[in-house]
Amino acid sequence: MVNSGGLKIYTNLNLDIQRIAEEEFAKADIFKDHPELNGAAIVLEIKTGKILAVVGGRKFSSSDQFNRAFDALRQPGSLMKPIVYLTAFDNGISPNKMFSDVPREYFDPWTQTIWQPQNYEGRYHGPVILRTALVNSYNIVAIELLKEIGVKNVIEYARKLGITSQLRETLSLALGSYEVTPIDMAKVYSVFANSGQKVNFSDIRKIIDNNDIEIEKYTYNTENIVPASSVAILDNILTGVVRNGSGTRARINGRTIAGKTGTTDDFTNAWFCGFTPNILVISYVGYDYPKPIGEHCSGGRVAAPIVKNIMERIFKKFPERFAQEEFPVPDDVVEVEICRESGLLKTDDCPYTVKQLFHKGDEPTMLCNFHDPDVNSLITKDTEELKLFFQEPEKQTIMSPYGIDSNTKKDDSSDSLKKLKNELKFFGE
């Protein structure tokens, strides 16, 4: 409870969880050698709509009362990718669809320059299914998927999910090039945690005036904005991010956790959002001014451990309230074990398989023959016909980051590329 001008304000904040969040955020390893580094963390309870904890920065003082959790606008990097994928799954694209992860160029007619996005580790992986691309946060596939489903469609979904800041119709949207607040991203991911239902989260429970009259009271409401089936398919993949993808540092034994990493250009901002069906924790780390955190300081390395440590202590403190819970699977979704490389039904010849959810009727029916020695149909980045894609890209007709076809020739000048990098940055995990 807070007294303010005669009003009694009762909050939804849980003192124990607030203390846990503050302590785990403050003692993160990354802060030991970076005294000016800052960030935020938020804890949401999915089933009640309560904002249980808010960490607005490392230190709250008279000289620093800026609440980064609610007010800081930061580029989210790959934290944006699940919105692109959800839009795709909800519009008829299957999680086993094959895309080519190869070097590509995109012409920007506004700056008359070439954009050459790269993957986080600087390598390319040839033909991959969408599931693999999201689990490992491949940038090229996210951009190509955005091209296929349309930038306007993705922005429409982003708005429905809860993003309120400015978004422009460019292909760099797939890599999180436009600024968002941590609370907005938390609300987006809460829809993923809640089977497509949007919750009106609040940190205020009720307000009573000086006459003891209740003048405001929080009421928990939900709104179905995305089909549960499409969200279930996405959640199935995001659990893979934590299990064996870019977010493995958020794994907790005996718990099913979904999540996504986010890292921006030059490691300026590092994000991670982890969630279960009953709780969500998001954290971002970065300076209050444009400055790299440090080499290889990705969301998976910096922010994921913070989220893990907060979650782990909450689970220990409230074992019944936040018990282990699997993500629900709707009746119109089926689980199929597929080859991780081909996306087809697995056989004994497939070296790597995974259980993937599909919309009923959209699941693969063909057995994988990519690994059959008599067929020898597996195409990889080492296949002779594809080797040219793994060389330096040639001049070609390309698609603009703004979704416009162009035959404009490549501008190789260092000034042009430098200008483009400032306008459209490269993003990582």
Distance CA 299, CA 428 (A): 9
Distance CA 176, CA 420 (A): 16
Strands 7-11 and 204-208, sheet pairing: antiparallel
Helix (H, G, I), strand (E, B) or coil at 187: helix
Strands 197-199 and 126-129, sheet pairing: unpaired
**pLDDT tens-digit map of 40-69:** 999 999 999 999 999 999 987 656 789 999
Distance CA 127, CA 120 (A): 17
Residue 12: CB atoms within 10 Å: 19
Angle ∠(136,138,144) on CA atoms, nearest 5 = 140
Cβ proximity of 178 and 75 under 8 Å: yes
Distance CA 336, CA 344 (A): 9
Per-residue pLDDT at 67: 95
Per-residue pLDDT at 166: 95
Per-residue pLDDT at 130: 99
Maximum separation of any 2 CA atoms in the chain, in Å: 84
* DSSP state string for 237-285: HHHHHHHHSTTGGG--TT---EEEEEE-GGG-EEEEEEE-SSEEEEEEE
Q: Which residue has the tokens 């299957």?
A: 94
Distance CA 71, CA 67 (A): 6
- Predicted TM-score (pTM) of the model is 0.88
Question: In tens digits, what is the pLDDT along the chain, a chain of 429 residues?
Answer: 556 567 999 999 999 999 999 999 999 999 998 999 999 999 999 999 999 999 999 987 656 789 999 999 999 999 999 999 999 999 999 999 999 999 999 977 667 788 899 998 889 999 999 999 999 999 999 999 999 999 999 999 999 999 999 999 989 999 999 999 999 999 999 999 999 999 999 999 999 998 899 999 999 999 999 999 999 999 999 999 999 999 999 999 999 999 999 999 889 999 999 999 999 999 999 999 999 999 999 999 999 999 999 999 999 999 999 999 999 999 999 999 999 999 999 999 999 999 999 999 999 999 998 887 776 555 555 555 444 444 444 333 333 333 322 222 333 334 433 443 343 444 456
**Token duo for residue 232:** 């279930």
Per-residue pLDDT at 305: 98
Residue 87 makes CB contacts below 8 A (sequence gap 6+) with 149, 153, 154, 157
Q: Which residue has the tokens 């259980």?
A: 355
Q: Which residue has the tokens 């995990």?
A: 429
Task: Go through the domains of the chain in sequence order and give each one's CATH number.
Answer: 13-198+226-331+404-423 (3.40.710.10)
Helix axes 139-149, 151-161, angle to 10 degrees: 100
